[in-house]
Homo-oligomer: A and B are copies of this chain.
Amino acid sequence: MIKPMAIALVHHPVLDRRGDVVTSAVTNLDIHDLARLAKTYNLARFYLVTPAAEQQQLVARIVLHWREGAGATYNPDRCQALDSLRVMNTFDEALDNWRSLAGAEAVALLTGARHREGISFPAARGMAAQHPLLLVFGTGHGLAPAIYSPDRPCLAPVRAGHYNHLSVRTAAAIILDRLVGDNLTLS
């Protein structure tokens, strides 16, 4: 058995391709793909982190369309998947919210293609059995240094030492399947 789990999709602070810290734009398909993954793997929360007011409004409009607008009857599966979504101004706000929900033993586990020294997937599965994990995904070219701290372990990349440029959607799918996979409690 694993503890409750959540994911955070961070749009700030992240790096652009030059390594500058930026706020990335929200991608519509990221919302749906990650919400569906969250529902599939029984995650408690999907935190979408952006401080940009207009981006938050965009997300709210998309959610409203699928929850109460034409989308709710057109595609109820999408509506259902969005239940776990919470929009947060900052990563700290998301982590605080997850701690208040899952307890003080919650741990943020940072994902990234550049984590050569990251902990292995078997070790992360062990961690998931002990701690309510918040899996953290960066958009753009990955999480900015400000997100990293000694109490936040890093997960090894999906494919070390090889072509390693998956989209955040497909990387999140693979990581969740590896960590939760057959440990899943069927509801």
Contact = CB atoms under 8 A, between A and B. Distances in A.
Given A170-B33, A173-B166, A177-B174, A40 B159 contact: yes
Interface size of A as a range: 35 or more
A39 interface: yes
Interface string A128-166: 000000000000000000000000000000110111111
Given A169-B33, A170-B172, A172-B170, A40 B177 contact: no
A75 interface: yes
Interface of A: 17, 27, 29, 32-33, 36-37, 39-40, 74-75, 77-78, 80-81, 158-159, 161-167, 169-174, 177-178, 184, 186-187
Main SS of chain A's interface residues?
Answer: helix
A147 to B, nearest CB: 22
A171 B178 CA distance: 13
Contact of A170 (B17, B37, B165, B186): B37
